[in-house]
Structure 1
Amino acid sequence: MLAFSIKRIAQALVVMMIIGFIGFAIKHNFGDPVRDLAGERVTPEQRAEIRQQLGLNDPFMVQYIRFLNNAVHGDLGRSFFFKKPALDVIVSKAPATLELVFCSSFIIILLSIPMGIYSAIKPKKMLSRFIMGGSIIGVSIPVFLTAILLIYIFSVELRWLPSFGRGETVDILGWQSGLFTADGLKHLIMPSIALSSIMLPLFIRLIRSEMMEVLETEYVKFAWAKGLRPFRIWLVHAFKNTLLPVITVGGVQLGIMVAFTILTETVFQWQGMGSMFIESVERADTSLMVAYLVMVGFIFVVVNTLVDLVYGLVNPMVRVQGRK
Structure 2
Amino acid sequence: MLGFVIQRLIQAAAVMAVMSVIVFVGVYAVGNPVDIVIPPDATQDVREEAIRRLGLDLPLWRQYFLFVGGVLQGDFGRSFIYNEPVLSLIAGRAPATIELVLISVLCATVIGVSLGVYAGYRPHAPLARAIMALSVLGFSVPTFWVGLILILTFAVSLGWLPAGGRGETVLILGVRWSFPTLDGLAHIALPALNLALFKMAMMIRLARSGVREIMLTDTIRFARAAGISEATILRRHVLKLIAAPIITVFGLELGSTLAFAVVTETIFSWPGMGKLIIDSITLLDRPVMVAYLILTALLFVTINLLVDLAYAAIDPRVRSGEAR
What is the CA deviation profile of residues 6-34 of structure 1, one whole-angstrom value per residue up to 9, with x for unaligned ones?
A: 00011111111122112211232122222
What is the CA deviation profile of residues 189-238 of structure 1, one whole-angstrom value per residue up to 9, with x for unaligned ones?
A: 00000001121101100000011111111111111011111111112211
Q: Which residue of 1 aligns with 2:69?
A: 69
d(CA) in 1 for partners of 2:169, 2:31: 35
Shift of 1:243: 0.8
Are the aligned partners of 1:135 and 1:201 in contact in 2 as well (CA < 8 Å)? yes
TM-score (norm 2): 0.98
Could you say what secondary structure the match of 2:260 adopts? Answer: helix
Shift of 1:150: 0.5
d(CA) in 2 for partners of 1:202, 1:11: 28
Letter of the 2:249 partner, please give it: V
Could you say what secondary structure the match of 2:261 adopts? Answer: helix
Shift of 1:265: 0.1
Q: Which residue of 1 aligns with 2:289?
A: 289
Q: Which residue of 2 aligns with 1:143?
A: 143
The structure-2 alpha-carbon separation of the partners of 1:108 and 1:100, relative to structure 1 and needing over 3 Å to count, comes to same
Could you say what secondary structure the match of 1:171 adopts? Answer: strand
Q: Which residue of 2 aligns with 1:176?
A: 176
Are the aligned partners of 1:26 and 1:290 in contact in 2 as well (CA < 8 Å)? no
After TM superposition, the structure 1 = structure 2 runs for residues 311-322 of structure 1, keeping only pairs within 5 Å, are: 311-322=311-322
Letter of the 2:257 partner, please give it: M
Greater displacement, 202-211 / 167-176: 167-176
What is the CA deviation profile of residues 220-269 of structure 1, one whole-angstrom value per residue up to 9, with x for unaligned ones?
A: 11110111111111122112111111111221111111123100000000
How many correspondences in the alignment? 324
TM-score (norm 1): 0.98
Are the aligned partners of 2:144 and 2:263 in contact in 1 as well (CA < 8 Å)? yes
Shift of 1:82: 0.9
1:53 aligned onto 2:58? no
d(CA) in 2 for partners of 1:313, 1:136: 33
Q: Which residue of 1 aligns with 2:3?
A: 3
Greater displacement, 55-64 / 186-195: 55-64
Q: Which residue of 1 aligns with 2:247?
A: 247
d(CA) in 2 for partners of 1:197, 1:77: 37
Q: Which residue of 2 aligns with 1:82?
A: 82
Equivalent pairs: percent with the same residue? 39
Q: Which residue of 2 aligns with 1:158?
A: 158
d(CA) in 2 for partners of 1:84, 1:97: 20
Are the aligned partners of 2:93 and 2:273 in contact in 1 as well (CA < 8 Å)? yes
1:273 aligned onto 2:279? no
Letter of the 1:256 partner, please give it: S
Are the aligned partners of 1:191 and 1:268 in contact in 2 as well (CA < 8 Å)? yes
Shift of 1:162: 0.1
After TM superposition, the structure 1 = structure 2 runs for residues 91-102 of structure 1, keeping only pairs within 5 Å, are: 91-102=91-102
Are the aligned partners of 2:109 and 2:250 in contact in 1 as well (CA < 8 Å)? no
Shift of 1:142: 1.3
Greater displacement, 14-23 / 303-312: 14-23
Shift of 1:279: 0.3
Shift of 1:114: 1.4
1:33 aligned onto 2:40? no
d(CA) in 2 for partners of 1:204, 1:156: 30
Are the aligned partners of 1:195 and 1:260 in contact in 2 as well (CA < 8 Å)? no
What is the CA deviation profile of residues 263-312 of structure 1, one whole-angstrom value per residue up to 9, with x for unaligned ones?
A: 00000000100000000011110110111111111111111100001111
After TM superposition, the structure 1 = structure 2 runs for residues 114-263 of structure 1, keeping only pairs within 5 Å, are: 114-263=114-263
Q: RMSD value over aligned CA atoms?
A: 1.0
Could you say what secondary structure the match of 1:256 adopts? Answer: helix
Runs of 4+ residues deviating >4 angstroms: none
d(CA) in 2 for partners of 1:46, 1:126: 72
Q: Which residue of 2 aligns with 1:22?
A: 22
Q: Which residue of 2 aligns with 1:308?
A: 308
Shift of 1:179: 1.2
Shift of 1:110: 2.3
Are the aligned partners of 1:135 and 1:205 in contact in 2 as well (CA < 8 Å)? yes
d(CA) in 2 for partners of 1:2, 1:288: 36
Are the aligned partners of 2:102 and 2:254 in contact in 1 as well (CA < 8 Å)? no
Letter of the 1:54 partner, please give it: L
